[in-house]
Structure formats: C-alpha cells, structure tokens
Structure 1
Amino acid sequence: MAIRRLDGRRVALWGWGREGRAAYHAIRARLPALPLTLFCSVGEAADAAALADASLAVETEASAARLAAFDVVVKSPGISPYKPEAVAAAGQGTCFVGGTALWFGEHANAAGFVDNAVCVTGTKGKSTTTSLLAHLLRAGGHATALAGNIGLPLLEVLAPAPAPAYWAIELSSYQTGDVAASGARPAVAVALNIFPEHLDWHGSHGRYVADKLRLLTEAKPRIAVLNANDPILSALQLPDSEIHWFGNADGWHLRGDALHRGERFVLDTLPLPLPGRHNRGNLCAVLTAIEALGLDAVALAPHAADFRPLPHRLQTVGTRDGVTYVNDSISTTPHASLAALDVFRGRRVAILVGGHDRGLPWEEFAQAMRVSAPLAIVTMGQNGPRIHDLLEPLAGEHGFVLGAAEDLADAMRQAQDALAGEGVVLLSPGAPSFGAYRDYVARGRHFAELAGFDPDCISAIPGLGIS
C-alpha cells in the first residue's frame, strides 16, 4: 500500500514508539494535510501533542469501536492484530497495516517487485545474517542499506538520496505479513529456521509459523533462500518462487568448519568472528542470497573475516578475575540458550536463564541437560520457577549446580560463586526481558554493568543505515 493511497481515507496510527513516529513522519512527508488520529499511551500523548500538528488528534484508548471508525490503521509491530479490539474492528472493515507495508508499497516497480530488496527472517540468527549480508555487499563495492527490525525502521529511510544499490532488511514475525499486505514482492527472501516463539503475540505456535511463512507463501519473492535442514522450511512448496537451498551438498554448506560451494572448498570458518556453528551456518544463507542477486559470492566470502559481531548476541563483554562474561541477551527462546551453550562446550560455564513467561516449552532444554549440562544453571525471572522445577530432578543425577535467583544481580552472584574464579558467566535467558527491563538491550547493558564493564561500549549496532 503506497502512502498516497491513504489520501482521502480515514487514517489512524496505533502506537508511538520509534516505528509509530517513523510512520507519522513518512505520512506527513507525502500527505502533509491528511487528518490523522493517534492512539497511544497517556505518557506518550504529551510528546505527540508537542508536535503542534493541527491535523493530528491524540487519543489514549484504542477501543474496538474507535478503531472501527477508520478505514486504515497503521499499527506499530509490537501491537498484535489478534488483540480482540483489532479483530473486532477488522471484522467491520478496518484495514490494519504496518510501516513495513507502506515502505514496500512505496518501492515496488510497475511489475510489483522491489528488485533490490533482500528480506531476512527466522526465529534465530536473522540480525546477524542481515548485518553480514550488508557487510559483504558493501565489501563488494555496493552501497547497501541495513534496516528493518534490526534497529532502523524502514520508514526512517523512505527515500534516501542517493538510493542504495541493495536493501538488506531484517523482518520479525510481526512484520512478515506486512510485506504480503503491501502487494509488493521482494527480489529475495531468506528464511533461516523456525522454532516456537512470540506465542503471546501470535496466539499459538501454528499461527506463529503461518505468520512467519507469509513472507514466502503470500509475498511470493522472486527467489526464496531456504534452509534445507529445517523441517518446516524443507517441506515448503512455493510454486510462485524459485527456491535456492543452503545447507545441502549441492549449494553453500559446511563440512565440519569448512565452507563449501558444492564440492568446492572455499574457506575455513573457524577463525571468522561468527560465534557458534549456527552463525557460521548462516554465512551459507548470506552467500546463497548474494548469488541469487547475480553476484560472485565466492569472491565476497573471505570478507566475512572483517565482520563486526553484533551486540547482545554471544558478545564477550570482557574477562575479570578469571571469569569471562558473555552477553547473549537477545536470546528469547530455549533453542537459543541451547545454541549458546554449544558454543562453550567443554568449558566451565554458568548459564543464566529465564525472564518473561510466554508459555514456551522448556522440556527440550531439560532433556539436553541429561547429556550436556554446564557446570551451573541459575534460573530467574517470571518463568524461572517453572524452569527450575523441570531441572531440579536432574541436577543431582547429572552433576550440575542449580540455583534460583531473585533477579539478574542475584543470578550473577550465584554464577560467580559456582565458577570460583574460573570459567564463563553466560547470559542467555531464552526468554524476553519484559517486566524487569524495557528490552533485551537494557538487560544486556545491566549485565555488563554488573560484571564491572562500561555498558556504553557494548550496545551500538555497527553498520545501520546506508553505506
């Protein structure tokens, strides 16, 4: 949906975070006189009123009746379209879209494609993959935009001049449906993996999977880059897209730590700044996407050696008094916590798990502790007691220390005591930070501070924007 199509329609904004503000400014840039209504919190209302926009009305209660009074509601990604008031308004004809839909509507060509856009989604690894994609394209001399869910809303870079040669766009499961809703088709869509996540937003695992796959099944990219080793993705049928697989013997794949393109050895991935085999595997996805753009991926692959890892993703904060502190605050699923533990297999590790309870199952994590438990596990947060109850029968039998903490500071103390001056304190919560912290960034910064390091030195995402 191009922004100009909003002209003459009753339009509201729902949410006044960074995405909501970006939507407001993008609409105003195209339609300066369009009447708008903003639904936001009481605390945000004063900020919106300070704009002194006579064509902007601000309300603090987004009821079903009020939402139904509009033709189009541009909502922020964190607001679920499955909320009862949204469902009721949609039933009366209100169209709910996000900023991602508006951006794609603005950039589609006459055939409906955004030919220089590569969209990346997946439950785990999408930020690193998108950032690595931008890094390698730039290393090849191509001006590339790094934007989307990674920390720069697309509508903040609506019409850059000069325009980049390529767009590397991260999409969460909250945004994949927006690409489909836009009516535009990306040149390339990359799907890394699918595990249970965000069940509170989507309502069920089945709906999460369906929403995640809308980037492929409904947006119908020209080329879909898919993980051959993911059971859900490997079973997909996409008659409207050309599928390029990674992770199989015919394409980009790993043999041990060796990167191969088919039978051709390309490089050893072990020295690369990509912690964890899963991240080195995602390099295969990036190179497959680069090939899908018609570029020489083999020539660009060595530039992965110069990649700067992203903060809060298996990030080594520093070492103090014999203990190394690793910040994996981005970890919001038990699968992510297991992947983090695998990186430090063979070392003395105390892992901190738990946070906001979204109802995700931890049984698989508990089963894994029967064969590969770390030295210590400290549970915390809202779902900490539930995780602790699963692990308690296993702790004595399988030889790991199990602690229950009141908060992150308490968890850190227990982890340090368990390690006794040697090993790794690994923050990989497997759960969101809501309630205790504003977001995973705030949680990671507090972790660094508790470890005795400057949190300002670990938080910047390198490469955002266009370069």
Structure 2
Amino acid sequence: MIEVQGVAGQCIAVLGLGRSGLSAARALRAGGAQVLAWDDNSAARDVALSEGFEVQDLTGEAAFDDIAALIVSPGIPHLYPQPNKIVANALHAGVPVDNDIGLFFRSFASAEWADYDQPPKVIAVTGSNGKSTTSALIAHVLQEVGRDVQLAGNIGRGVLDIDPPGDGGVVVLELSSYQTELARALTPDVAVFTNLTPDHLDRHGGLGGYFAAKRRLFAEGGPDRAVIGVDEAEGLFLAGQLAEGRGDDRVIRVSANRKLLGPGWLVFARKGFLSEYRKGKQAGSIDLRKIKGLPGAHNHQNACAAYAACRTLGLAPKVIERAFHSFAGLPHRSQLIGEKDGVSFVNDSKATNVDSALKALLAFENIRWICGGLAKEGGLSALAPGFAHVAKAYVIGREAAEFSLQLEGLEAEVCTTMEHAVAQAMADATPGETVLLAPAAASFDQYDNFEKRGEDFIRHVKSRL
C-alpha cells in the first residue's frame, strides 16, 4: 500500500466505494486521516462498515463544515453533464476535490529513496485506444528484462494498492480521462499519449474537453519524456506544444501510418516494420509482422509507443524485440486462443464499437467474423473498409437479424447464440483463415460484460479444438 502523506489528523471524505474508493480510504487511514465514506449503494456502504470506516451521508448543507478534502471515484461526474450533488456541495463549501491518482502522485516518493542508487520511476499511459495494451506491453518488457515493475491504474491493481517500489522500480499506470481530468497532482517521469478518437463526450462537454482532460497529464506535471502519437491532429498539436524545437528529444513522436522526418526522436511503423530515428539516423528496427501477440496496425501503434517508453529507460532495441515476441496480448483484445488445421482463433470481445472492430478486421486476412450484440448509435457503415477481409459473418445477439441487414455486401448468417456461431464458423473455415470474435456492439443483451462474452467464445472454441 502507498500511504497517503500530509493528511494526518485531517478529516477526509471519500465518495464512491468501488475498487478505487475503498483503496483510497485504506491509504488515507494508513496515513493518519479520519475517513468519512459514502456511496449511494447500500451494499458498498456495508463493505466499508465491515472494514471499520465511518459511513456518513454527505448530501446535507453542513456536511463539509469539518472536512479538509473530498476524494471522488472516477465514475462520478464533477462538471459535465452536471456535477454530482455531493461534489457540488464540496465545491460550494470551498473544499478541495481530488481522486486516488492525485493522492498517489503526492505520496509516491518516500524517505527511503535517499538510499537508492536509482529512484523509482512512473510511466503513465493515456489515450482513447490502445492504452491497456501499451501499458501491459511496457510492463511485460520490463518484467522480461528483470526490472522491478508494477502495473496499476485502469489496469492491474489500484494505484494506492501497489507496494512501495524498491531501488530502480518502475510503476506503469494506465490512466483514463476520468482519472487525469481531476487529479490535483500529475507528475510522471514518462507520459504516453496513444491517440484520440471521440469518446465520453457527454462527460467532458465535447471533444475539446476530452482532449483537455488527456492533455493535463503532460501540462500539469511536465514529464521528463513525452511519447506522443501524432496520427491525429490533437497529438500533433500536443507534441508541438511540448517541444522547444525540432531536435528536442524530450518529445518522442510516434506514428503507425507514415514515415516521420526530422532531427528529433522518432518511432514509426510502416508495412509491419518499426523504425527508430534519432538526429536523422536510424537507431533501431523491429519486424512486427512476426510477433503474434501484436497483430494489425493498431497494435503496431501500441508497439511503437511501448518501444519508445522502454527506450527512455535505456533498454536496447534487441532486448525490447525479444520481449515483444513473448507478449501474449491482453485477454479479449486480439487474443490468440489457439490454432487447428491451419485456422487461427482470435478473441477481440473488447471491440465493442465500430472503430475498434474495424481495426480488428483490418488486422487479419480471410476472416470468419463473429459479430453482433447490442448495437450502438451511428450504425455499421464505417465498418465497410474491413469487409474485403471477411469471408463470411456469423451474427449473434437478440437482434441478430436486424444487425445482419446492416452488413451490406457481406454474406451473413444469423446464428443468435455464440455456440451456434462458433460451430458454424469452425465448420466453414479453411486453412489460412481466422475465426475472429470482434462484435462491434455491446454485450449486455446476452452477457453481463464483454469479458463474459469473450470467455464464452473461448469455452466453445476450446471444446472443439
């Protein structure tokens, strides 16, 4: 546990008692604070009571008279589309509002660091897509080379649940816009921006607010190194804001679709090859086509960002390449389940929207595509560029027939259930093809979440391998 510093004797309120909220409450108590906990969910309050926390309703007008700070869980809005009532009460009372990420950064350093040869470092990763894979890949590379590394934040453990790092330790954090927009302290050593596509726009008041939430990771703390994906206008703008000149190698520009030019520090992927350039000269390269855990252009972008972050720590290109080859991928994200008779089986249940499903379709050739579920707004027309890769679609979900009608130009079979879809796709598949689950839809019509959907796919595939 990371004990929160500077709170001894203070009364601190915690709103939201999920994973991050309870973690913050424990870390605050360990730091000597008096913790008042609240959640609208009675079951969550009962858990807090069972751990000895004082539970107090914070909705009253005088609730914050004796409270020094309010710690808010990520899912609770504090500005758009409208502030949570309790957050609004705290702001009216002049009480600072923070989250567990802010507590982590203000409490990460300790007196023991004076005895370390190498102070611990934090690599923080944000962006719209790929941040989980990028974070996990960085942690995997560091683990493979024997570094003391912990993965936390939006993936792995809660940030305050990790162990205090040892000499030369590295903490890799995946941070969402919900986390970066509110944290009062953001001081990573290395900050990574993967990309930006529209998401959570109601929460941030539009695309500009969404980008501003991501940008805080770079603007508030001033990382020693910034790895910036420049394939979108926002990333290009951010890199330009951070760099003092063309050759400023504190900013590493990353691209997955074009060769980057100039005297700075550049990492890009073209036609499956990763290249690193510094001061106009090539410093490293990797053939990404041979790495099964990183298929497709979107994963090549993740690989470039992870490679750049690892290079800031002094790892050699060949060392990083070897570690890439042993990366199995994250569950439900282009996860290779197995192979049989020349047919590959890939679980990308995390592809819950059109954008992520299209990336999956473009990552493979000759696909037997299992798709469908609870469709999102906007329709499926944006998937069309990937249809040339699809031999046939097998549609699941309660509205499978309606979903299939939107797949114009594709042969589509209405299967409804995962069991039927897997059985039919496996029966039809020939050597060299890939049976791919990339639903392009939410899972809630048939499953509790996308993980359960992916697990069902894996179960039916493995029962037939």
- What one-letter code is carried by the residue in structure 1 that aligns with 2:453? R
SS in 2 for 1:270: helix
Give the alignment partner of residue 322 of structure 2, picking from 302, 308, 317: 302
Aligned to 1:271: 290
Q: Deviations over 1:417-443 (max 9, x none)?
A: 467432544322345546754443233
Q: Which moved more, 1:242-251 or 1:125-134?
A: 242-251
Gaps of 5+ in 2: 112-118, 245-249
SS in 1 for 2:5: helix
TM score, norm. by length of structure 2: 0.79
The CA distance in 1 between the partners of 2:149 and 2:398, in whole Å, is 39
Give the alignment partner of residue 148 of structure 1, picking from 144, 153, 157: 153
The CA distance in 2 between the partners of 1:80 and 1:258, in whole Å, is 42
- What one-letter code is carried by the residue in structure 1 that aligns with 2:192? V
Give the alignment partner of residue 78 of structure 1, picking from 75, 78, 93: 75
Contact 1:327 1:427 in 2 (8 A): yes
Aligned to 2:451: 441
Q: Which moved more, 1:266-275 or 1:289-298?
A: 289-298
The CA distance in 2 between the partners of 1:424 and 1:125, in whole Å, is 22
Aligned to 2:358: 338
Contact 2:16 2:39 in 1 (8 A): yes
Question: Does 1 or 2 have the higher relative contact order (CA < 8 Å, sep 6+)?
Answer: 1
The CA distance in 2 between the partners of 1:231 and 1:452, in whole Å, is 43
SS in 2 for 1:226: strand
Contact 2:28 2:35 in 1 (8 A): no
The CA distance in 2 between the partners of 1:294 and 1:257, in whole Å, is 24
SS in 2 for 1:150: coil
Aligned to 2:114: none
Say whether residues 1:245 and 2:242 are aligned partners.
no
Q: Which moved more, 1:417-426 or 1:284-293?
A: 417-426
Structure 1 residues 73 and 443: CA distance shift in structure 2, 3 A: farther
Shift of 1:322: 9.1
Contact 1:353 1:431 in 2 (8 A): yes
TM score, norm. by length of structure 1: 0.79
Contact 2:362 2:386 in 1 (8 A): no
Aligned to 2:174: 170
Say whether residues 1:378 and 2:383 are aligned partners.
no
Q: Deviations over 1:340-399 (max 9, x none)?
A: 111222x13223144474x5x4466244367555521626479x89x83xx73662xx23
Structure 1 residues 88 and 118: CA distance shift in structure 2, 3 A: same
Gaps of 5+ in 1: 455-467
Matches within 5 A, 1:83-162: 83-86=82-85, 88-89=88-89, 91-92=91-92, 93-107=94-108, 116-157=121-162, 159-160=164-165, 162=166
Aligned to 2:115: none
SS in 2 for 1:185: coil
Aligned to 1:37: 37
The CA distance in 2 between the partners of 1:402 and 1:169, in whole Å, is 42
Q: Deviations over 1:107-142 (max 9, x none)?
A: 2589xxx97111111222112211221222233332
Contact 1:246 1:252 in 2 (8 A): yes
Aligned to 1:460: none
The CA distance in 2 between the partners of 1:325 and 1:108, in whole Å, is 45
Aligned to 1:192: 194
The CA distance in 2 between the partners of 1:372 and 1:365, in whole Å, is 14
Structure 1 residues 277 and 35: CA distance shift in structure 2, 3 A: closer
- What one-letter code is carried by the residue in structure 1 that aligns with 2:348? D
The CA distance in 2 between the partners of 1:65 and 1:427, in whole Å, is 51
Structure 1 residues 450 and 141: CA distance shift in structure 2, 3 A: closer
Aligned to 1:48: 48
Structure 1 residues 96 and 22: CA distance shift in structure 2, 3 A: same
Shift of 1:238: 2.7
Structure 1 residues 287 and 155: CA distance shift in structure 2, 3 A: same
Matches within 5 A, 1:6-17: 6-17=7-18
Shift of 1:103: 0.7
Q: Deviations over 1:318-339 (max 9, x none)?
A: 4689975422122233211111
Structure 1 residues 402 and 193: CA distance shift in structure 2, 3 A: farther
The CA distance in 2 between the partners of 1:381 and 1:174, in whole Å, is 32
The CA distance in 1 between the partners of 2:392 and 2:21, in whole Å, is 44
Shift of 1:207: 2.6
Q: Percent identity?
A: 30
- What one-letter code is carried by the residue in structure 2 that aligns with 1:260? S
Q: Deviations over 1:120-179 (max 9, x none)?
A: 11222112211221222233332222222112111101525x355222211122212245
Contact 1:323 1:421 in 2 (8 A): no
SS in 1 for 2:160: helix
SS in 1 for 2:178: coil
The CA distance in 1 between the partners of 2:350 and 2:443, in whole Å, is 9
- What one-letter code is carried by the residue in structure 2 that aligns with 1:56? E
Aligned to 2:410: 399
Aligned to 2:385: 368
Shift of 1:256: 1.6
The CA distance in 1 between the partners of 2:407 and 2:35, in whole Å, is 61
- What one-letter code is carried by the residue in structure 1 that aligns with 2:152? A
Q: Which moved more, 1:229-238 or 1:437-446?
A: 437-446
Aligned to 2:247: none
The CA distance in 2 between the partners of 1:424 and 1:66, in whole Å, is 61
Structure 1 residues 9 and 438: CA distance shift in structure 2, 3 A: farther
Structure 1 residues 348 and 144: CA distance shift in structure 2, 3 A: closer
